[in-house]
Structure 1
Amino acid sequence: MASLPQAPPGPGRAVPVPRPAPPAIARVRSRRRPSGEPPPLPRALAASGKFWLTLSGVVLVVWVVVVVTGTVTVFDVVDTRVLQAISELRSPGLTPVMEAAGVLATDEAIHVLWLSNLVLLVVFRRWRHLFVWLGVGLLVANVGALLALTLQRPRPYEVAVIGEWSGFSMPSLPMTVLAAFLLSTVYALVPPGRWRTRGKWAVGVLLAVTAVSRLYLAQDHPTGILAGVVLGVAAPLAAFRLLTPNAIYPVRYTRARPAHLDVSGDRGDAIVRALHDQLGVLATGVAPFGLAGSGGSTPLKITVKAAASVTDEESCIFGKLYAATHVRSDRWYKLGRTLLYGRLEDEKPFHSVRRLVQYEDYILRLFSDAGLPVPHPLGIVEITPEREYLLVTEFIAGAKEAGEADVDDSVIDQGLSVVRRMWDIGMAHRDIKPANLLVRDGTLFLIDSAFAEVRPSPWRQAVDLANMMLVLALRTDAEQVYRRARLQFSEDEIAEAFAATRGLTMPSQLRRMLRQQGRDLHTDFLRLLPYRLPPVRIQRWTWRRAGLTLVTLASAAVVAAITVTILGSPL
């Protein structure tokens, strides 16, 4: 592709920007997924999850039958005989050992377990697991207490109870809550694989030891313990596998960003299959690419078979993997910005991952139709309905980020022409940073249109110009960029751009690179201006911001009150 021509003199005139040609890749006939066939990456409980849910269902059915038919006496007789046999093993030396063995089921131990998990999940910022963990704990504790109050089964009779107890005994509420908390801890804090398997075995051993202790002390019936463990295991098992599947919300202790999903294993196979079925693209490999410059998606380099008319070798395309977790992160991010800074431009979140991907694909096609140098859009691939989608575009092979590439007058003119062209068509990119400007053989490309806006405010357009000038000056200097900008923008437009731009409106990567270079390019540009305009006010208080602040504070107070209530309530 030929490089852009030099910018013609005179502010307000844009340079035509060539559009990259579509990649030459092999295509086969796509395949529509028949109704009822699971998606490439379905959500599953696995065999063990189905087993425990079925077992809990059996327990509930047995309870209903016992209550309706009045056959509880049969269970009382069996439980009494078992406890009488165990009581014969009591001895002065064994009793203290059994009391110590059952310490995990005490109020104090369960409260410590609750608080330690709460703190660890907050420290590791594993919010999804934290909310599921809290939800499971509240659900199990309240359902268990309601069932015990409904069934009203007394403590064992004809056997001396030598341990502490309170309330009714069916199901065993301490065992129910302990089983739920221990298994939730494993799923929320232990990485999947060998260590999680070991953790499950450890939970089984701890529950068995605690159960033996409570039977020895006659604190619970055998059937009450069994029912409590079944409910305590089934609830977190189903919740974590359905709401925090390993493929989407992996538990890992690395420096990788939470937005970057693992594309190996089942997910990688699902991507390859979905590309073949939906786009007719024969993918041979999927690998992460450019993770350092991406914080809101998982960028991928996908190796595919090239068109036979070009070569029999492999080619590459680019994919951005979006999942429901990215939409939720975007929602929390924008809520935080609203609370801290007020109403900025277009800070309303997306309500589904499908809408997010559709919007970015739409913006990319608008840019492409307008002649902007963007990657050629190839389509959207559905991995799992309403949960994961892949946006596929051309891969700009051999390109470097603007913060690392050679930047001359031609590249500067191309970057400034991109902003001028966006102004002409009434759009703003809203995320101009070194990672989103690629340079290959003297040609500049604009990527990542996820935050772009149609018909933005003049303030947002002015910010795009200032950020573009700052990025181009990273590899040159402010005077050179300002001189080239005067060929396409007036002094008023440049002055407005730097009046609207400051640290908050700069992407974090751009701010970080400015600090690393130790250069205050913003001040350098201000010195070059013939005059300065008053800074544009960014902080704005609105009714929406005030309402969200009050709701957030009230929600935090409610959560704190619930936590204090749970910690103070006996089991």
Structure 2
Amino acid sequence: MTRPAPTRKSPRRRPSGEAPPLPHQLNASGWGWLLVAAAIIVYWLVVAVWPRAALWLVVLDHRVLEWLSAVRTPWLTTAMKVAGQPATSHVLLVTWWVALVILLVWRRWRHLFVWIGAVLAVTTVTEVAAGLIQRPRPVGVEILGDWEGFAMPSRPMAVLAAVGVNVLYALVPAGRAREWGKLVVGAVVAVTALSRLYLAQDAPTDVLNGVVFGVAIPLAAFRLFTPTSVYPVSYRRGRTAHLDLTGRRLQAIERALNDQLGVIPVEIKPVGLAGSGGSTPMRVTVKGEPETYLFAKLYAVNHMRSDRWYKLGRTLMYGRLEDEKAFNTVRRLVQYEDYMLRVMRDGGLPVPHPYGIVEITPEREYLLVTEMLDGATEIGESDVDDAIIDQGLDIVRQLWEAGLAHRDIKPANLMVRDGTLHVIDSAFGQVRPSPWRQAVDLGNMMLVLALRTDAERVYERATAKFTVDEIVEAFAATRGLTMPSQLRAMMRARHKDLHAEFCALLPRQPQPIRIQRWSMQRIALTVWALFVGLITAIVVIELLDSPL
């Protein structure tokens, strides 16, 4: 059945200097806080050269503290001591523990590391600045609360402000909840600051300096390293690979598709999320007569970094499997998948027709756009007859003859439409793979086909297309690690040990091919990982012992 091609117009070239559809930026508030922090640093440098430049601030601070001390009463002093509790070590420690548990339970590792880095940066900056400025505590006014070290900037206020920003950007979802949270955090910081001024623990400029750095550093860190558009805070269970397709990102995708592919998107909806763990798949309805559909996969920086950590983990656990090479940029990742898709198409494999790559934000977000297999169903939900079995086995034979390996043969990547089996998702494909990797493709294909039929039937059809030695090698190479997680889960759900059933049909039992491979690279990476883990544990313990 011939599918209508999407209606396209001439693409629009983005002029030099024009911002991309979804720019990566700190926003006005982020830049504002950084500029204020920079102005304070400049003022510190001026004071270091010309100390008299700070006299007017000292006089102003003293007058404010004298006025506040004049209105002290016993009951107000008691209230102010309670109001100042958020800036004390034990309250900040409890906040840290609660946040740590939440971040660990919801596996927000990136937010956790940014939190730790931001607090370390704030404490380091305030300690260094206090040591260089060496401003004493207020003179001539009785200090009613605890204090330690030099006065400027106020370290308790800096850490409190930093913790408040960390809570907002690591624990509170973006939107109305975060906006209300900003008001709450602002009120807590303001009341605590007033308390410390009333008790003469800090002077006004000490508080101002501490709050500015306590806000500016974590705010910049979270917006740079965990932007909400890429790492949203959500308490719905789901894969972190699936990015939100609403708001600014949706508008950016629509604009980029129009400009770069010349299509007018009518609707963009996520699709196939259950079988996708390394990208955000979507169906794009394209305007035309009639309306047509395109399939697109959104890749972002977090997908590239997840791929890097995934492959590093496999190297540490199993050794280098001769093809576990991480991508350095998102552009390289999406270019590689597009290239593999076209190589497979040229090799005669039944893959979706590629339409190209769409850039959302340079080096950060890209779309890979292909034909939408409209009306197709996963092979795990389709009726599998001898024709489908033969097509699946032919796909492996075509991969071998073209010198390719798919490397991710699983039910979600095999689609049946109008009696034809299609293979999708070439992201893990490889050119000139090892014989072991090719054997794994055959083993996984036979396991997938047997899910909806039985091992004996698939084995009988396979012997007409592959030698017994090739099939034995396939099941010697295919086990545990080399089976996609979806395939293993479906076999468990159906209470089938298909690998054992196939092995029972073979004329001889396959001798497992060794996967564990030790090398100097693996040893060095293991030592490095243990060292980094030890340093991280020490830092976390230090933060737990002394949040201030």
- Short-chain TM bin: over 0.9
Q: CA deviation at 1:198?
A: 1.1
- Deviation, 1:549, is 1.3
Q: How does 1:41-440 map to 2 (within 5 A)?
A: 41-69=22-50, 70-306=52-288, 312-440=289-417
For 2:321 and 2:78, locate their aligned partners in 1 and report how far apart those are by CA, in whole Å.
Answer: 64
User: For residue 550 of structure 1, what is the aligned residue in structure 2?
Assistant: 527
Identity in percent: 61
Instruction: State the alpha-carbon separation in 2 of the partners of residues 335 and 24 from structure 1.
Output: 41
AA in 2 matched with 1:64? L
Assess if the C-alpha contact under 8 Å between 2:354 and 2:370 holds in 1: yes
Question: 1: CA distance between counterparts of 2:107 and 2:542?
Answer: 24
Paired residue type of 1:41: L
Q: Are residues 512 and 345 of structure 1, via their aligned partners in 2, closer, same or farther at CA, if it must alter by over 3 Å?
A: farther
Task: State the alpha-carbon separation in 2 of the partners of residues 446 and 394 from structure 1.
Answer: 12
Q: Counterpart in 2 of 1:12?
A: none
Matched pairs, number: 547
Structure 1 residues 198 and 465 mapped into 2: Cα distance closer, same or farther (>3 Å)?
same
What is the identity, as a one-letter code, of the residue corresponding to 1:37?
E
Q: What's the CA shift for 1:66?
A: 3.1
- Local SS of the residue matching 1:71: helix
The DSSP-based 3-state class of the residue aligned with 2:200 is: coil
Cα distance in 2, alignment partners of residues 558 and 149 from structure 1: 26
Q: Distance in 1 between matches of 2:407 and 2:120?
A: 42
Q: Structure 1 residue aligned with 2:471, among 486, 494, 506?
A: 494
Q: Does 1:31 align with 2:12?
A: yes
User: 1:570 deviation in Å?
Assistant: 7.5
Partner amino acid, structure 1, of 2:259: D
1:528 maps to 505
User: Partner letter of residue 212 of structure 1?
Assistant: L
Q: Within 1, Cα distance between the matches of 2:165 and 2:244?
A: 24
* More moved, 291-300 vs 24-33: 24-33
Cα displacement string for residues 218-238 of structure 1 (whole angstroms, at most 9, x for unaligned residues):
100011101211121122222
Per the alignment, residue 511 of structure 1 pairs with 488
**Structure 2: distance between partners of 1:199 and 1:95:** 28
Write out per-residue CA displacement over residues 353-405 of structure 1, whole angstroms, 9 at most, x where no aligned residue.
Answer: 11100110110000000110000111000000010000000000100101011
Aligned-pair CA distance for 1:440: 0.8
Amino acid at match of 1:398: G
Among 448, 451, 454, the residue aligned to 1:474: 451
Cα distance in 2 for residues equivalent to 1:345 and 1:435: 25
Cα displacement (A) at 1:22: 8.0
* Partner-residue secondary structure (3-state), 1:559: helix
Amino acid aligned to 2:45: V
Whether 1:447 aligns to 2:424 is: yes
8 Å contact from structure 1 (residues 45, 241) kept in 2: yes
- How many Å separate the matches in 2 of 1:371 and 1:338? 33
Structure 2: how far apart are the matches of 1:148 and 1:133?
22
Alignment correspondent of 1:14: none
**Distance between the aligned counterparts of 1:119 and 1:469, measured in 2?**
43
Q: Provide the C-alpha distance between the structure 2 equivalents of 1:406 and 1:523, rounded to a whole number of angstroms.
A: 23
Residues 7 and 287 in structure 2, CA contact (< 8 A), matched pair in contact too: yes
Residues of 1 paired with 2:546 and 2:492: CA distance?
Answer: 52
Give the Cα separation in 2 of the matches to 1:404 and 1:345.
Answer: 34
SS in 2 for 1:59: helix
- Partner Cα distance (1:126, 1:467) in 2: 32
| Residues 22 and 422 of structure 1: CA distance in aligned 2, closer, same or farther (over 3 Å) | farther
CA RMSD in angstroms, aligned pairs only:
1.5
Distance, in Å, in 1 between the alignment partners of 2:360 and 2:4 is: 23
TM-score, with length taken from structure 1: 0.93
Shift of 1:281: 1.7
Shift of 1:91: 2.4
Structure 1 regions of 5+ residues with no counterpart?
Answer: 2-20, 307-311
**What TM-score, normalized to structure 2?**
0.97
What displacement does 1:569 show?
4.6
Offset of residue 164 of structure 1: 0.8
Tell me how far apart the structure 2 counterparts of residues 523 and 53 of structure 1 sit (CA, whole Å).
62
Give distance in 1, aligned partners of 2:131 and 2:3. 68
Q: Please report how far the alpha carbon of residue 25 of structure 1 lies from its aligned counterpart in structure 2 after TM superposition.
A: 1.1
Task: Report the alpha carbon displacement of residue 177 of structure 1 after superposing the two structures with TM.
Answer: 1.2
Q: Which moved more, 1:241-250 or 1:45-54?
A: 45-54
**Could you tell me whether the CA contact under 8 Å between 1:22 and 1:376 is conserved in 2?**
no
Shift of residue 54 of structure 1?
Answer: 2.5
> In structure 2, what is the equivalent of residue 6 of structure 1?
none
SS at match of 2:360: strand
Q: Is the 8 A contact 1:31 1:278 kept in 2?
A: yes
The CA distance in 2 between the partners of 1:498 and 1:237, in whole Å, is 52
Q: Is the 8 A contact 2:116 2:540 kept in 1?
A: no
Following TM superposition, where does structure 1 have runs of at least 4 consecutive aligned residues deviating by more than 6 angstroms? none
Equivalent pair of 1:177/1:232 in contact (CA under 8 Å): yes
- Residues 345, 460 of structure 1: 8 Å contact kept: no
User: Relative contact order, CA 8 A, sep 6+: which one is greater?
Assistant: 1
